[in-house]
Chain A
Amino acid sequence: MADFSVKVVDDILNGYRDGAEGSLIPVLGEIQDRYHYLPRDALILVSEWLGVPLSQVYSIATFYNAFSLKPQGRHLIHVCTGTACHVRGAAQVLDRLQRRLEIRPGETTPDGEFTLETVNCLGACALGPITVIDGEYFGQMAASRVDKLLKEFGMERAKA
C-alpha cells in the first residue's frame, strides 16, 4: 500500500484547478483509487483546497459505498451478492469466507492480509456465484473451493 504523501494529493487536486462544479466526488474517487482508502489528512487537504467544509467532505466519504475510511488489506476479496449469484448460492460462499477469515464483510484481517467486501452485482452473471480477488475473477464458486483459493493467495491457516 502506498504511503500518504501531500504531493500525490496535490497532484490529484491540480487536475481540478478550475474548480469544476461537483469535483468533490471525482477527487475523492481518485484518492480512493490511489490509496484504496481515504486517509484523514487527504480529506483535510481536499476540504481546504476545494473550500468545502470538512463535515461535507466527511458526509460524502461516508455516504457512498465506493469510499472507505479504513486502510484495506493486501488482498481485496469481493463476493458478488447480486440476485443471480444469490439464487446460485453466494451466501454459502460468503459464509465460508467469513468463517475462514474470521471477519465480516467490510472488515480486514488483523494481520492486514485480507479485506472482505460484498458487491451488489458485477454483471457477469453467467459465471455466478462469483468471487473476485485482487481483480481476478473466480466463477462458479462453491464453499468447497474457498480454502484452496485462500491458500493460493497466501493464507497459511487454510486447509488445502
Chain B
Amino acid sequence: MEKMRTPAELEELRRLLSKEQDASQLCVTLCGGTGCRAYGSEGVLEALQGEIKAQAIENRVNLRMTGCHGFCERGPLVVIQPKEIFYHGVKVEDVPQIISETVVKGEIIDSLLYVDPSTGQKIACESEVPFYKKQRRLLLDMNGQIDPTSVTDYITLGGYGSLSKVLSQMTPEKVIAEVTRAKLRGRGGAGFPAGLKWRFTREASGDTKYVVCNADEGDPGAYMDRSIMEGNPHRVVEGMIIGGYAIGAHRGFVYIRNEYPLAVKHLGTAIAQARECGLLGKDILGSGFDFDVEIRLGAGAFVCGEETALMASIEGRTGEPRPRPPYPAQEGLWSQPTNINNVKSWANVPLIIEKGADWYAQIGTEGSKGTKIFSVVGKINNTGLVEVPMGATLRHIIFDIGGGIPNGKEFKAVQIGGPSGGCIPKEHLDTPIDYESLTELGAMMGSGGMVICDEDTCMVDLARYFMTFVQEESCGKCVPCRVGTKAMLETLARITKGEGRETDIDYLLELAEAIKGSSLCGLGQTAPNPVLSTLRYFRDEYETHIYEKRCPAKVCPDLITYEVIADLCTGCMVCARNCPTEAISGEKGTVHTIDQDLCVRCGLCKELCKFDAISVR
C-alpha cells in the first residue's frame, strides 16, 4: 500500500474504501480468536472457503475471519451479515448447509441458532442474544467486524482518524488535557489516572522518552488484552502513537507474553502495515512527528507485569522489580522518562479523542469512567468476555450476562483480580463495582479476570492454589515475599491435609501483614490477598478443615473418602478396571468395595460410574 503523507490522503482513502463497501453485501464472519480456534474454527474456515468456491458464489459473498467475539462458551461462532444471523457451535459438517440455505437462499437454520435458556426462545440475530445485548461494547465492538490483519478494514471503520485529528489539530498539551478530562484510569489494575501519568512523563527532563504497552497479561483467567491485540491490534498501535505524540516520545515498545502467539502475530502484522502506509515511522501524515513501535516478547515470568520488572526485562535483564521512586515517568527504560500503560488503556485513547472527553466521562461512576472488560470464567454458563460500564453490579455480570451457574449449583463466590485480588461472596452481588468498591471488599480490579466459584469450590484450596502460584512466581529478590509466601503455602498445605493447628489462622494473618507491609513490589504486597479475603468471608471453611478435619466442598483429597453406594452399584467393574491403584475389588454383578488404604482419591471411579454409585464424604 502507498504511503499516506497528509491527513487529507487518509480521509480520501477512507472515502474510497467506504464507497467500495456495500452495506447490503453478504458477508460470512467467523470468529478466529484463540478460544474458537481451539474449538476448530480454522477447519470451519477452510470448509467455508471450499464450499463458497464449489458453489461458485465468490463474487456474491465475502468471507472474513475476525478476532474474538467474546462468547467463547459457544464457539466456533459464525455471523452472517448484513442480517447478523448468529450461529454457534458450528462444525465443519454444518458448512454446506450454511452456504446453501442461509447464504444462497437467505433461510435460517433453526438447529444452529442460540436458545435463550431462560425463555427457551431461539434467537437469530447476534445483537439480540442476551449475552451481547446487555453489554456495552466500546472496545470490543470492532472485534467481530474487521479482519485484524487488514489495515484497510480498520481504516474503513474510522481507524487512525483520531491520530490524524491529534496530529493536525491538537497540541500535545491539549491531548493530555483531553485524556485528563476524560478521567481515564489505568486499566492494568491499579487505576492510576492516565492523564496525570502522561503529564509527569512529558514534564520530566530528558531528551529521549519512551512509551510502553504492558501486554504481559499474566493473571490466570484473564484474556481480554489478548483478545484486543488479536482482534483489533491497530487500535492499540493508534493509541500508542497518540500517547507518544502527547508525551514527546519517538519510540514505543509492546511487551507481550510469549504464550500468546496469535496476538504477537497480529500485532506484528499491524505494526508492519502501519509502517508501510506511513502511520508509523518518520514524519507521520506530514506532521513532522516521528514514532515507531517494537515488540518485545516476555519469557514466562508473572512478575514482569510489574512495571519496573517489565523494564528490566526489555533491557535484557532478569525481571526483578526495583524500588520506586524514581517512577518510570522520571527514570524508566535505560534511565529515560517512560510512560507505561496497559493494552486496554491504550485502546481507550483513540475512542476518547474521537468522541471527546465529555462523552467518555459520562460513562461509568463518579471515580471510574468508561467501560471495563471482564473475562467471566470458571463455574459459569456463558464463559466469555463481558464489557460493561464501570459501576455495573456483579449480579448483572454473572447472572444476567453470564447466565448463572451450570448444573443447578449454588453460587459461592467470585474471585476477582487474579493472584493479587480476592474473593467476593454472594452478600455483595449487588454492589456496583469500580476501582474503589472492589478494594473496599478486599479484592481489586486487577486486569478484570472473574473466576466464578460454586458450592463445589473449596475456598481453602483456592487460597492454597493462589499461594502456590505467587510462591512460584516470586522473583526471589526480597525476603518477605520469597520466604513469607512459602511459609503461608506450607501452612495452607497443612490445613488442606487435615494437619491444621489451632494457631494457624492467626499465624497466616500475621504473615500476611508482614508480607504486605514489607515487600518491595506489587506482587509481594498483594500476594496475601487471596488468603486474607477468603479468611474474611469464609473463615468457617478454614475452621472446619482445622478442627473437624473435614473439607465441606469435598475437594481436598486428604479429607475426603470415596465409598460405593451398595444400593446403586451394579457390579459392572468399570471402576475396578480403571482404578490406578487397584483399590477397588468385587466380582462382576456384585457390589464393589474400596480399600481406603490403597485409595488415592483421584476421583476416577466417581467420574466413570454410570450409575452414580460412588459417594464422596
Contacts and interface: CB of A to CB of B under 8 A. Distances in A.
Contact of B578 (A87, A120, A144): A144
Contacts of B449: 83
Given A86-B465, A88-B379, A120 B604 contact: no
A22 B299 CA distance: 13
A65 interface: yes
A113 to B, nearest CB: 20
Given A63-B318, A87-B462, A82 B220 contact: yes
Contacts of A130: 38
Nearest to B263: A123
B218 interface: yes
Interface in A1-47: 21-26, 28-29
B205 interface: no
A128 to B, nearest CB: 7
Contacts of A159: 577-578
A157 interface: no
B296 A121 contact: no
Interface in B32-54: 34-35, 38-39
A122 B375 CA distance: 13
B272 to A, nearest CB: 16
A16 B219 CA distance: 32
Nearest to B295: A26
Contacts of B317: 60
B602 A87 contact: no
A99 B602 CA distance: 10
Contacts of B299: 25, 28-29, 64-67
A155 interface: no
A109 interface: no
Given A22-B315, A64-B299, A83-B415, A121 B219 contact: yes
A23 B378 contact: no
Most B CB atoms within 10 A — which of A23, A83, A88? A83
Given A83-B451, A159-B578, A22 B221 contact: no
B319 A63 contact: yes
B384 A126 contact: yes
A124 B258 contact: no
B607 A21 contact: no
A22 B220 contact: no
Interface in B575-617: 577-578, 580, 602-604, 607-608
A110 interface: no
Interface string B244-281: 00000000000000111000000000000000000000
Mostly, the B contact residues are mixed
A102 to B, nearest CB: 11
Q: Report which residue of B72, B217, B466 has the largest number of chain A beta carbons within 10 angstroms of its beta carbon.
A: B72
Interface in A103-160: 119-128, 130, 137, 139, 142-144, 159
Nearest to A96: B602
Interface in B443-478: 449, 451-453, 457, 462, 465-466, 469, 475
Interface residues of B, number: 59
Nearest to A59: B318
Contacts, number: 148
Query: Which among A26, A124, A137 has the highest number of chain B CB atoms within 10 Å?
Result: A124
B415 A124 contact: no
A25 B607 contact: no
A143 B377 contact: no
Contacts of A67: 299-300
Contact of A128 (B217, B300, B377, B418): B377
A83 B378 contact: yes
Contacts of A21: 315-316, 334
A86 B378 CA distance: 8
Contacts of A65: 299-301
Contact of A83 (B39, B75, B220, B297): B220
Contacts of B223: 121, 123-125
Nearest to A82: B220
B568 to A, nearest CB: 19
Contacts of B488: none
A87 B602 CA distance: 15
B420 interface: no
B450 to A, nearest CB: 10
B602 A124 contact: no
A92 B602 contact: yes
Contact of B72 (A59, A124, A142): A124
A139 B221 contact: no
A87 B451 contact: yes
Contact of B607 (A28, A60, A88, A142): A142
A22 B251 CA distance: 15
Contact of A125 (B313, B383, B578, B602): B383
A142 B543 CA distance: 31
B259 A122 contact: yes
A124 B34 contact: yes
Contacts of A25: 296-297, 299, 313, 316
Which 7 pairs between the two chains have the least Cβ-Cβ distance?
A123-B223, A65-B300, A82-B220, A64-B299, A22-B316, A121-B220, A125-B377
Given A25-B316, A100-B580, 10 more contacts: A24-B316, A28-B299, A63-B475, A83-B462, A120-B220, A123-B223, A124-B34, A124-B35, A127-B38, A144-B607
22 contacts: A21-B334, A29-B258, A59-B318, A60-B316, A63-B301, A64-B299, A67-B300, A83-B451, A120-B218, A122-B34, A123-B217, A123-B223, A123-B259, A124-B38, A124-B223, A125-B377, A126-B72, A126-B75, A126-B384, A127-B35, A128-B377, A144-B578
